[in-house]
Amino acid sequence: MAKRSGGPSNTEIDMTPMIDMTFQLITFFMFVMNFSEAEQDDRIQLPSSQIAKPADGVIEKPITLQLTNAGSVIYAGELVAVRDIGAYLEREKTLMIDENREPNSATIIVRADGRAKTGEVQDIIRICQEKGFERFALRAQYDDRR
């Protein structure tokens, strides 16, 4: 029997494996996507530590202060001088008091660059203490190399 030539051949492609794989990929990306609202900035190179284990629970309404290598603080996406953070913290404190929360119950997350001066970190802690904050979380990159 002669093979039929000419005319459009109706080739059916089996799409099932491709759709399967695509859905698997979507699932993968959905799982690895970071939905956490933790403030992170690429300008900060955190020091690493094997002991700084990721927190078990979520810190409720933390205040994140990020200290850059150059000695400025990134607060809510804004670059602020260390000496000026007091005014911003005062605002946070007022907001907390309005919500019937004590400043000493809030956690200040300090994300300081490893190359920054320790004195500047201490300055930040001192200013926070003066505003009534006393819980601090010094953030480090978790390094699981043994």
* 46 sits near other proteins (criterion: CB under 8 A): yes
* 142 sits near other proteins (criterion: CB under 8 A): yes
CB closer to other proteins, 3 vs 146: 146
Please state the closest distance from residue 84 (CB atom) to other proteins, in A. 16
For residue 63, give the nearest of 110, 122, 102 by alpha carbon: 110
Query: Could you say which of 5, 10, 11, 118 contacts other proteins (CB under 8 A)?
Result: 118
Query: Could you say which of 3, 11, 17, 30 contacts other proteins (CB under 8 A)?
Result: 30
Asked whether the beta carbons of 69 and 116 are under 8 A apart, the reply is: yes
Q: Which chain residues interact with other proteins by CB under 8 A?
A: 15, 18-19, 22-23, 25-26, 29-30, 32-34, 38, 40, 46-55, 67, 104, 107, 109, 112-119, 121-123, 125-126, 129-130, 134-142, 144, 146
